[in-house]
Homo-oligomer: A and B are copies of this chain.
């Protein structure tokens, strides 16, 4: 089963240009070519691209994905699957805690915005209280410490 770049792309749901891009940054090996120079991909290649797409959907960057692929390519050669597995786990745990941080931050932002809305609907000031809140500054900084040089 062999594919041109266009078919691969369609199967995985990305553009041929993306596939060439993955190749250019080393995520995909240079495939064999037809006599006229067309890239020829195997099912293995298709799966590799699918792997990239899946991992990307899970929030991994291409360089993190590159690390996964590097690890699993290592596995092919010498068998250190124990080591491999723990490296992968470590990476996944790291990503999970990154996600937790992001989630928390976004929840805080949401809370702040909701508080501002609340203020706004319950007020009758002439100026918009949201804009006022946004403008509010740590005005102190202007004259407190920071006598500055």
Contacts and interface: CB of A to CB of B under 8 A. Distances in A.
A30 B41 CA distance: 56
Contacts of A107: 99, 103
Contacts of A17: none
Q: Taking chain A's interface residues, is the majority helix, strand, or loop, or is none over half, making it mixed?
A: helix
Contact of A99 (B59, B85, B106, B142): B106
Contacts of A58: 109, 112-113, 134
Number of this chain's copies in the assembly equals 2
Interface stretch (A21-29, A31-39, A86-94): A86-94
B131 A88 contact: yes
Given A55-B134, A142-B11, A113 B99 contact: yes
Interface residues of A, number: 57
8 contacts: A13-B141, A13-B146, A54-B134, A85-B120, A85-B128, A88-B120, A88-B128, A92-B116
